[in-house]
Amino acid sequence: MTDFEKLIKAHYDAVERFVNYKIHVECDAQDVMQDVLLSAFENFGQLKNIQSFRPWIIGIARNKCNAYYRKKAKYDALHVNDFDESLFTYTQFGLADDEPFDDIFDNLSDKDKQILKFTYFDDLSQNEIAEKLHIPLGTVKSRLHTAKQKIRKTYSERKVDDFMKKLPQLLPDYKIIESDEKPFDVICKELKGLSIIPELNEKVLWGLYEFRSKKLEEYSETKVCGKAEIHGVEGVEILSNRHDVVDNREQKIEFAAQLTDTHCRYLAATYYEKDRKKQFTFLDDVFVKNWGFGENNCGNEVLITCNNLVKRNGNNISYKSDKEFSDIAGRYTVEICGKTYDTICVMSLGHFDNSVVIEQYLDQNGRTILWRRFNKNDLMFKKYNKLWTEMLPGNEKLIVNGETFVHWYDCITDYIL
């Protein structure tokens, strides 16, 4: 048995898991796997260190999978980068399931349906469509452009209307009242940053409000849509459709996450940049920096208990740690949307080079009632040439280890509505 054959035998299962994770269609995954093996065989002589065989062949597999999706979407030929990516996006489970789109598609004219079906579902080129329909190529381009415009306009209006019905356009007034009661322990299964529990059939509607204007600036609908496996680690796939109200832009982000009895963590993140689909997993340094929590990306602990790492007296906070961490900083009553919640305040400190402080108010069910962000006074000074105390002079301030942090924005979810 040659060295190549021995290495393939040792790492075949890992490569196959990777390809099957990326490509859900079994026959397509098998074809890509064959391309990976052929490419690895042809280029094996260029591998200088056989100890690097595993990451080397995984890299080949990643490139082959990306090539598969580039061919599948035909981005360059069809210019779909100017189209709403959340409508026609392939995930590991095939074309992303989007009920609002299905409804809109059903109400299109037969000509619009036909041109979209040939382009996105039958994967035909414009020349092939022209030949099939016996019409000029220019007519195909015109019909496709018109159909896409109708979809984009209707979808955008429908999504904005749906979200505005569920989320208030202005941040509801709230009160945070410190309690003399001892903080309680709580089981919180929410994924940091998404406020969703990574279990099948879970979903959440989330809104971000700039505190000064109290206006809704960003919202997202996030849902768990199926099972996932990242480098052999089992979890769930999460789709998050985010809408920027100010710039009227939408972005689709896919995550994979895992919930165990003790921890909750991200496994992968996928987003779209122009005509490219970018994916990062817990094996990538850039992923750990942005989505990793805990030692070796173990995630955040599900059981939240007070470790006495934070001392808080009003808006004065002190702590001693050279690592990022979260801890309970008191018990509070939060009044919002006409309801009253008994909560603990979980403070996240040390993140992003000690430039951001997060307050998260959790009720006894372990759900987020209110989420508040504070920026270090000189954060982004090079960009704005101003301190946050100058830009937001009337906003609440925290003094953390002697440094000033300014309240920037708040987040709520449909859990409190």
Total domain count, the chain: 4
Tokens of residue 338, six digits: 């006409």
Q: Return per-residue pLDDT of the chain as tens, 417 residues.
A: 788 899 999 899 888 888 877 776 777 888 899 999 999 999 998 888 888 898 899 889 988 887 877 666 543 333 333 344 343 433 332 333 344 455 566 677 888 888 887 876 666 888 999 998 999 999 998 888 888 777 766 655 554 444 444 789 899 999 999 999 999 999 999 998 889 999 998 999 999 999 888 999 999 999 998 999 998 889 999 999 888 888 778 888 899 999 999 999 999 988 877 677 888 888 887 777 777 777 777 888 999 999 999 999 999 999 988 788 899 999 999 999 999 999 999 999 987 778 999 999 999 999 999 999 999 999 989 888 999 999 999 999 999 999 999 999 999 999 998
Residues 206 and 276 occupy one common structural domain: yes
Residues 115 and 260 occupy one common structural domain: no
Tokens of residue 279, six digits: 């994916």
CB of 415 closer than 8 Å to CB of 367: yes
CATH code of the domain covering residue 27: 1.10.1740.10
Residues 321 and 284 occupy one common structural domain: no
Residues 181 and 318 occupy one common structural domain: yes
Residues 332 and 414 occupy one common structural domain: yes
Domain interval for residue 82: 76-166
d(CA 216, CA 167): 8
Look at residues 73, 108, 132 and tell me which one is the last residue of a structural domain. 73
CATH code of the domain covering residue 138: 1.10.10.10
Cβ neighbors of 87 (< 8 A, separation 6 or more) are: 98, 101, 151, 152, 155
d(CA 88, CA 69): 12
Beta-bridge mates of residue 219: 207, 243
Residues 85 and 36 occupy one common structural domain: no
Residues 142 and 177 occupy one common structural domain: no
Residues 284 and 393 occupy one common structural domain: no
Residues 287 and 195 occupy one common structural domain: yes
Residues 284 and 196 occupy one common structural domain: yes
Look at residues 54, 73, 92 and tell me which one is the last residue of a structural domain. 73
Look at residues 26, 49, 73 and tell me which one is the last residue of a structural domain. 73
Residues 51 and 97 occupy one common structural domain: no
**pTM (two decimals):** 0.62
